[in-house]
Amino acid sequence: MKLSGYGCIFGMGLQNSMVYRADFFLSLFSCLFPVIMQVYLWTALYRVGAADTSGYTYEQMILYTLLAGITSRIVSTGFELEVAQDIKEGGLNKYLVKPVNYAGYYFARFLGGKAAPVGFLLAVTAAVLAGASAVLQIRVEPLRWVLYGVSVILALALNFSLFFAIALLGFWLTEIRQLFGTISIVVMVISGGVFPLDIFGPAAAVLSAVLPFGYTTQFCVNIVSGRLGMQEIGTGFLVQLAWIALFTALHTVMWKRGTRRYTAVGG
Amino acid sequence: MAVIEAEQLCKQFRYSTKAKGLQGTLHNLFERQKLTKTAVDRISFSVEEGEAVGLLGPNGAGKTTTLKMLSGILYPTSGTVRVNGFIPWERRPEYQRQFAIVMGQKSQLWPDLPAVDTFELNRRIYRIDPEEYRRTLAELTDLLDVGPLLQVQVRRLSLGERMKMELIAALLHRPAILYLDEPTIGLDILSQRAIRDFLRYYNQQTKTTILLTSHYTADIEAICPRSIIINHGRVVFDGPLAQVSEVFGHKKLISLRSRQDLDPQVLASLGLVREFTSNTALMEVERDQLESCLQQLLGRLPVMDLDVKDIPIEEGIAYFYQRSGEAAQ
Amino acid sequence: MKKRMDCLRRYLGLLGLFARYSLMEQMEYRVNFAAGIAVECGYMLIKLMYAFLILQAGVSLNGLTSWEMLMCVGTYILITGLFMSMYPNFCLLSFSVRDGSLDMLLTKPVNTQFLVTLRKLDFGMPIPNVLCGVALIVYGWQGAGLAVTVTGIVGFVLLCMTGLFLTYCLFLIPELLSFWFVSNSGVHQLSEAVRDFDNVPMNVYPKWLQRLGIFVLPVFVITNFPTLYVARKLSVPMTIWAFAAAALVFALQRLVWKKALRRYTSANG
């Protein structure tokens, strides 16, 4: 299939995400809530001087909370349910007979579904950060914003390949669908989407540097918050690329094995 | 006494359209056009106790929607229905214990458990006396010949076996009225026949009122002495199915095979030629010209085989489907 | 009265049967059952992170000691766990509305809401939550040095049950919107986000938000009131409000339920 074909699928993804207009705005709105909750929690804890946060200042922590809420939303997926459904109920057949790469199809649709929310989120981000930096008096170099953008693009690819591999587990675990909601939340948390993981001690800091999850959110956010030096940022990019390659290889193998094993459940 | 009485029953669905392409989507984000589709349009009919009535109609004619309103699944837009004095969509337990619905496309069985577990659940839901339950279950499994399959997980059963289990699940509480929506859809010929035979027997033995929709004329012919044809949401025919072809009662079909090749022009002078190969033909003639036509055919042609038939029921049905379609437009 | 008891016995019997069938079903998919527990443990990790932060701070916040706050978090975990046992039905609801598989359930001579919302019971997911929730509550109760009395325990359990009932009613309403809209995943996400406000005790929030969460959308009643009662920080009118809120939300939910069923269009799947 030609690139224009994937472009068309991208367009369909975009349309789909907007047809469900109420959903679209509500889910954007709902990502605000945990951020509000955390801001209040940190404000309360810092006010009584009780937060032991391994070097995060109040301003850094609030900035982290805001940005992590948005970033984790940008990279979040949601197609895994559909993929597993296809596997379980035989919907895969219609892709197997088409000259289309299934992973490519979903990646195009995933990006298409992202375009509108991300556009909107970027506007929100700009507004929030303008407000926050005025209130908290934080200054961020423009270069770091550019690097943040690059890291988010890589994070999107990484999160896609990660969740696609998880979705393909549906070949072996037929009822896995019920777990996706939970899995994605857990991944979000160990990605640093709620708290920066390094506040939970040195062990957590090491884990977040070694495991792939941190590179979908925490790494991106810490580029902006200034916790990372330029050299660390460079290494981070390489690690992101390495994980993308690894998970792509993994889901390619899983796809091959899975389709071989796949028996369509007839109606 | 009429068990089911429907009057001016009407159901409309509202839906919104979406214009094509991205532009349409953007437009849709702010404004949607609401459309109304009339699935059932002022239908009136009544069914007597113990009757077996077939509902016929093309796809989207409103048969299933009608059944769903009769069983209280859907609220009608307007009109009235009384079934044994109950208004179905009030969904009173007293009414719900009097009927059952079986849908070929929808299952009430728990797929991962043996069918007998669903039966036990239904026993409790319908509050069936254990002794009576045991007797009914034995009788039904015997009639449908599924005794050894009761302990098998439903998802491991064949489609035909599954439908038999659906029927048992529906009949355990001995409903007075049985609604069936495409009960033989997708089944092989043997299973179709088994279900058909069972339903006819059951209707005759227990005097259970049956209302059945099906795309298979054979189902209706076997089970239902009376049929109602619905099209575009309206009743267009009500009576014995055999009468459907009476609109063509003045016509007959002659199929013939000759020893030599036939001359189409000779045939055309005798009647309407429907099908033609070198030495066989199917002709349609007026009944009052049948005799002379036959004489001429036998006299002028080396006929090897000849058969005179009525116009098949399907054609009568198709006629009603089409005619009401035109009338609606 | 006797009729009422009969009815109750019948529904409890049905519930028992649902539990048995659900368990049998889940034993068919043992790997998934185990995976469910495992992932639920992960979920709990998040909640424990909040508990950890609060306990680590070790100070009083707006009138609650950190031990009492720990009890609140424990209550949240416990009630969420119990709620999880019926959660599969909530998730299935929008699917069943869309593909019309609700049809058969609507024709049964039992309360439809009972059948639709309690038919599938999950046994895996509640296990880690209930264990951990109870542990946190006991640990917090001891740490806070609160007296262990019969009235304390009875009141706590009663308020927890009210909280569970409130959770059921409150979070069924957004699921019911699937009768009106093709997709309700947005509302679903929003309601989950609202529920997550209970991750931390309400005293962390400013007064206006507390009032909102007690009187308008009573999510704070669910997880804070049992602890407040035991710590003798819950006034009598507030205690009464807990039950009144449950009754009100139940009435509202029944109203929406009835309206929703009228909208059901029974798609042909």
Per residue in A180-234, pLDDT (tens digit) is 877 887 888 889 988 888 888 888 888 888 899 999 999 999 998 888 889 999 9
DSSP string across B265-295: HHHHHHSEEEEE-SSEEEEEEEGGGHHHHHH
**Do A19 and B18 make contact, defined as CB atoms within 8 angstroms?**
yes
Please state the separation of Cα B41 from the chain's center in Å.
Answer: 19
B84 dihedral zone (left: phi>0; alpha: psi -120 to 50; beta): left
Chain C interface includes B71 (CB < 8 A): yes
- B-chain residues near C109 (CB < 8 A): 93-94, 96-97, 125-126
Interface test with B, best of C30, C104, C266 (most B CBs within 10 A): C104
Beta bridge partner(s), residue B265: none
Give the relative orientation of helices C30-57 and A32-47 as an angle to the nearest 10 degrees: 30
Chain C interface includes B185 (CB < 8 A): no
Q: Closest partner residue to C266 among B74, B107, B120, by Cβ?
A: B74
* pTM of this structure: 0.81
At residue A141, φ and ψ (nearest 5 deg) are -65, 145
Supply the pLDDT for residue A256.
85
Chain A interface includes B25 (CB < 8 A): yes
Chain A interface includes B22 (CB < 8 A): yes
- C-chain residues near B103 (CB < 8 A): 103-104
Number of Cβ pairs < 8 A linking chain A and chain B: 15
Q: How confident is the model at residue B71 (pLDDT cuts 50, 70, 90)?
A: very high
**Which tokens belong to A82?**
């559909």
Pairing of strands B272-276, B78-83: unpaired
Please state the separation of Cα A75 from the chain's center in Å.
Answer: 3
Give CA–CA dist C258/B68, Å, rounded.
Answer: 18
Q: Do domains B2-19+38-241 and B250-309 have the same CATH topology?
A: no
Beta bridge partner(s), residue B5: B46, B82
Q: How confident is the model at residue A266 (pLDDT cuts 50, 70, 90)?
A: very low
**Do C264 and B73 make contact, defined as CB atoms within 8 angstroms?**
yes
Supply the pLDDT for residue C79.
96
**Do C193 and A182 make contact, defined as CB atoms within 8 angstroms?**
no
Which pLDDT tens digit goes with each residue over B270-309?
Answer: 888 888 888 888 888 888 888 888 888 888 888 888 888 8
Averaged pLDDT for residues C187-209: 89
Which pLDDT tens digit goes with each residue over A79-113?
Answer: 888 888 888 777 777 777 777 788 888 888 888 87
**Do B91 and C106 make contact, defined as CB atoms within 8 angstroms?**
yes
- A-chain residues near B28 (CB < 8 A): 18-19, 21
**Do A14 and B18 make contact, defined as CB atoms within 8 angstroms?**
no
**Do B105 and C269 make contact, defined as CB atoms within 8 angstroms?**
yes
Q: Would you tell me which CATH number, out of the four given (3.40.50.300, 3.30.360.10, 3.30.70.100, 3.60.10.10), belongs to the domain B250-309?
A: 3.30.70.100
Pairing of strands B78-83, B177-181: unpaired
Chain C interface includes B156 (CB < 8 A): no
For residue B286, how many other CB atoms are within 10 A of its CB?
12
Give CA–CA dist B218/B192, Å, rounded.
Answer: 9
Beta bridge partner(s), residue B9: B43
Chain A interface includes B159 (CB < 8 A): no
Chain A interface includes B28 (CB < 8 A): yes
Per-residue CA distances from C135 to A167, B327, C70, C72, C77 (Å): 34, 73, 10, 12, 10
Give CA–CA dist A5/B231, Å, rounded.
Answer: 41
Interface test with B, best of A8, A9, A15 (most B CBs within 10 A): A15
- B-chain residues near C25 (CB < 8 A): 110, 112-113
Supply the pLDDT for residue C269.
42
Q: How confident is the model at residue A62 (pLDDT cuts 50, 70, 90)?
A: confident
Could you tell me which residue, A151 or A138, shows the higher pLDDT? A151
Pairing of strands B2-16, B34-48: antiparallel
Q: Is the Cβ–Cβ distance between B224 and B217 less than 8 Å?
A: no
Q: Which CATH architecture has domain B2-19+38-241?
A: 3-Layer(aba) Sandwich (3.40)
Averaged pLDDT for residues B65-70: 93
Q: Which amino acid is at A56?
A: Y
User: How far off is chain C from A5, nearest CA to CA, in Å?
Assistant: 27
Q: Is the Cβ–Cβ distance between A258 and A92 less than 8 Å?
A: no
User: How far off is chain A from C90, nearest CA to CA, in Å?
Assistant: 12
- C-chain residues near B110 (CB < 8 A): 21, 25
**Which tokens belong to A249?**
């290889």
Which pLDDT tens digit goes with each residue over A67-85?
Answer: 888 888 888 887 888 888 8
**Do A14 and B28 make contact, defined as CB atoms within 8 angstroms?**
no
Percentage of the residues of chain B whose pLDDT score is greater than 90: 51
Per-residue CA distances from B317 to B42, B228, B273 (Å): 21, 11, 21
Give CA–CA dist B299/A10, Å, rounded.
Answer: 73
Give CA–CA dist A71/A154, Å, rounded.
Answer: 12
Give CA–CA dist B79/B12, Å, rounded.
Answer: 12
Q: How confident is the model at residue A3 (pLDDT cuts 50, 70, 90)?
A: low
Residue A38 DSSP SS3: helix
- A-chain residues near B25 (CB < 8 A): 14-15, 18-19
User: How far off is chain A from C211, nearest CA to CA, in Å?
Assistant: 15
**Do B29 and A11 make contact, defined as CB atoms within 8 angstroms?**
no
Q: Which amino acid is at A102?
A: Y
Cβ-Cβ contacts under 8 Å for A189 (sequence gap 6 or more): A195, C42, C45, C46, C49
**Which tokens belong to C227?**
């602890």
**Do A22 and C186 make contact, defined as CB atoms within 8 angstroms?**
yes
Cβ-Cβ contacts under 8 Å for A1 (sequence gap 6 or more): A99, A100, A101, A104
- A-chain residues near B26 (CB < 8 A): 18
The DSSP element (H or E) to which B231 belongs, if any, is: strand B226-231
**Residue of chain C nearest B71, judged by CA positions:** C107
Give CA–CA dist C63/C234, Å, rounded.
Answer: 12
The DSSP element (H or E) to which C193 belongs, if any, is: helix C185-195
- B-chain residues near A18 (CB < 8 A): 25-26, 28-29
- B-chain residues near A15 (CB < 8 A): 22, 25
DSSP string across C74-139: HHHHHHHHHHHTTHHHHHHHHHHHHHTTTHHHHTSSS-HHHHHHHSS--STTHHHHHHHHHHHHHH
User: How far off is chain A from C160, nearest CA to CA, in Å?
Assistant: 23
Task: Please report, for chain B, the start and end positions of each structural domain, with discontinuous segments joined by +.
Answer: 2-19+38-241, 250-309
- C-chain residues near B121 (CB < 8 A): 14, 17, 21
Q: Would you mind telling me the total number of residues written for chain C in this entry?
A: 269
